A and B are shown apart, each in its own frame.
Chain A
Amino acid sequence: MFKLVNGPQTLGNGPGFWMSFLVVLAIAIGYPFFADSYDVGNFAYFLIWVFMAMGLCLMWGYGGMLTFGQTLFFGISGYGYGVLAINFEGGTMTLAALVLALALAALAALILGYFMIWGGVGGVFFGIVTLSATLVLAFFLGQTAGPEWTIGEARLNGFNGMKGMEPLNIPWFDDEQLYFEGTALYFLVIALIVVVYLALRMLVNSRFGNVIVAVREDPQRAELLGYDVRKYQLATFVIGSTLAGLSGALYTSWGQFIQPASIGLPAAAMPIVWVAFSGRGDLTATLVGSFLILYAFQTITVHSQQAALILMGAMLLATVMLAPQGFVIGFARLVGRLFGSMTGSAKDK
């Protein structure tokens, strides 16, 4: 099964790639021992968003379904975690809150996905329906300011956002709780990214992955070959959306806060920018590219959030006009070609 991490659906299959993967991983693990804890917390913050990007890469790049609903499931799971963590009164039960929040996101994706995919909503309409659902959720949560909007102990608090939930924590040695904040959260997120990344590579190189790529290329042909296209699409949609949910729950846990602005526009456009710019066709490109963009975005946001968003818009426009495949993939191909010509191999051509 582990052989599946390499395959035709992913870039970077050689030993050289895996060597650099290990080097990057080693740097990532070693980083907290050299940097100050504030920076580590910040890194954890933008690594949290990477799950959402990888989910979108799976659905859009591999499955051909452009969804704008990533922040919808981000929000469902983020609010779900918050409400549950408050009502479970924190502690180790936050772990249950995380799992249930993810299940909630998956259930929502299943229902929405069923209606869209079985309804034959394809191509651009897929995007429009998901975007509408996303904006309606943001709009709905924005007006829950009144005291009547409580779920159990949790107050939704409208536009100002919900707060006061405990971060994720588990029992640790000496009867102490380990709170996933700062460095601990960083390690948790790194571990999750490695697991999700490898699992997704195996998924797309497996039989399932080959089928969803076949569906992307030509749904009718895939259907005539005997596959129930709709089931594969729904499964892809649920997996990808649940990954957005993972980002959402971790985000709420990170800041002990979630607000409707992380769901509506312009937040809903961000995953699209990351994945389009990086290159939707490949998981590794998405992983690397999203991280770089988030880092740049965060650096500029400190000075001006508007300027950072303008840059995002400009990047999207530039990607579509200059490198529709995505810049990271284009760059990787370029490097591959240079490297290939240096060693005299003509494999990539």
Chain B
Amino acid sequence: MTIVEIFSVLYQFADVFAFLILSAAGLAIVFGMMGVINMAHGEFIMCGAYVTVALVHGGMPLPIAQLLGAVTAGIVGVIVEVLVVRRFYKRPLDSLLATWGLSLIVTQGMLILVGSSVRGIGTPPGSFMVGEYTFSVYRLILFAGAVGALALIYFVFMRTRFGTLARATMQNANMAQALGVRVGRVYALSFGLGAGLAGLCGALYAPTMTLIPTMGSTFIVESFVTVVVGGANVLLGTAPAGILLAAIRTTLNAWQGQIIGQIGMLVAVIIIIRLLPEGLSGFLTRRQR
């Protein structure tokens, strides 16, 4: 194998890894930490993408539009938490149903309001050559975005005061409240952060894909699967889960094509859950002891 081929494989791996991590980052907080099965996760992604595209059409530079797309999704997330999700922390299955209902309303409502497709904005140009192959720069930006999202989650939850309060609340809300943490606000902000990261995913992928109101469903399987394989400790589990699944998928993609890649990844997930019911983070923490 030449260096060029190795780079090409790494590039494809990075592409899949970025997709998995970016789709899963928001859900890692909302589902992995807070325990809310957010079936509307894909709709937050869609929200970020649509806001980005609308702003770019309005003449805003792409990076700022993407940032605002993520922020908008985050704000919507806080509103949704206060209005709906808040009631269901003790009833996880009901939170699933409620957010699924929400997801149906939003996707179909968007179909009525905006129609089935929106003019795209096109991938930012820019490519580089390695050997005789051309690679898109934007795909590397996506990879950087994924690493950035992981770093952001780590920084917020491990290095800030808010993160400490949030982790305390997730572990034992009553105790945290007794110690003076405003639990409601912590939940709302955490959910908002998760929704914002979902929006960031949509914003980053907006230039590369066709915008349709149902686009969220292309992300939802990957996001849940990554979080589930990662296990309960999202700070520890999400990144290795992304690496493992991306490795499986890249190999199968190269060997048998996209479809086998997707199906093979799912089969792998079912086997991984069969072998490691607590996910990768459960496996890793057990090894440490």
The residues of A with any CB-CB pair to B shorter than 8 Å are 66, 112, 115-116, 118-121, 123-125, 127-129, 131-133, 135-136, 139-140, 143, 264-266, 269, 272-273, 276, 304, 306-307, 309-310, 312-321, 324
Q: A66 is contacted by which of B87, B93, B105, B266 (Cβ under 8 Å)?
A: B93
- Chain A binder among B2-10, B191-199, B220-228: B220-228
Q: Write the B100-119 contact mask toward A (1 if CB under 8 angstroms, else 0).
A: 11111101110110000000
Q: Is the interface of A mostly helix, strand, loop or mixed?
A: helix
Closest CB of chain A to B88's CB: distance in Å? 7
| Contact yes or no, A132 B101, CB < 8 A | no
Residues of chain B within 8 A of A315, CB atoms compared: 101
Q: B105 is contacted by which of A115, A119, A143, A314 (Cβ under 8 Å)?
A: A314
Q: Is the interface of B mostly helix, strand, loop or mixed?
A: helix
The 6 closest A-B pairs by CB, nearest first: A313-B104, A316-B101, A119-B274, A317-B101, A313-B105, A309-B108
Residues of chain B within 8 A of A266, CB atoms compared: 104, 107-108
Q: Is B253 part of the binding interface, using a Cβ–Cβ cutoff of 8 Å?
A: no
Residues of chain B within 8 A of A312, CB atoms compared: 101, 104
Residues of chain A within 8 A of B262, CB atoms compared: 136, 139-140
Closest residue to B107 on the A side, CB-wise? A266
Residue from A125, A128, A273 with most neighbouring chain B CB atoms (10 Å): A128
Residues 197-225 of B at the A interface (beta carbon under 8 Å): 214, 217, 220-221, 224-225
| Contact yes or no, A124 B84, CB < 8 A | no
Residues of chain B within 8 A of A140, CB atoms compared: 259, 262-263
Closest CB of chain B to A64's CB: distance in Å? 9
Closest CB of chain B to A79's CB: distance in Å? 16
Closest CB of chain A to B38's CB: distance in Å? 11
Q: Is B277 part of the binding interface, using a Cβ–Cβ cutoff of 8 Å?
A: yes
Number of residue pairs spanning A and B whose beta carbons lie under 8 angstroms apart: 119
Complex formed: what's the CA distance from A127 to B88 in Å?
17
Complex formed: what's the CA distance from A321 to B275 in Å?
37
Q: B270 is contacted by which of A116, A127, A135, A143 (Cβ under 8 Å)?
A: A116
Complex formed: what's the CA distance from A115 to B87 in Å?
33
Sample of 22 A–B contacts (CB below 8 Å): A116-B270, A119-B274, A120-B277, A124-B92, A128-B37, A129-B228, A132-B266, A136-B262, A136-B263, A140-B259, A269-B104, A272-B97, A306-B112, A312-B101, A312-B104, A313-B103, A314-B101, A314-B105, A317-B102, A319-B97, A320-B101, A324-B94
| Contact yes or no, A121 B104, CB < 8 A | no
Number of B interface residues at 8 Å Cβ cutoff, please give it: 40
Complex formed: what's the CA distance from A304 to B91 in Å?
33
Residues of chain B within 8 A of A273, CB atoms compared: 101
Q: Write the B72-101 contact mask toward A (1 if CB under 8 angstroms, else 0).
A: 000000000000100110011110111011
Closest residue to A319 on the B side, CB-wise? B97
Q: Is B168 part of the binding interface, using a Cβ–Cβ cutoff of 8 Å?
A: no
Residues 108-140 of B at the A interface (beta carbon under 8 Å): 108-109, 111-112
Residue from B104, B109, B275 with most neighbouring chain A CB atoms (10 Å): B104
Q: Is B269 part of the binding interface, using a Cβ–Cβ cutoff of 8 Å?
A: yes
| Contact yes or no, A320 B269, CB < 8 A | no
- CB-CB under 8 A for A129 and B273, given A136-B221, A312-B104: yes
Closest CB of chain B to A238's CB: distance in Å? 17
| Contact yes or no, A317 B108, CB < 8 A | no
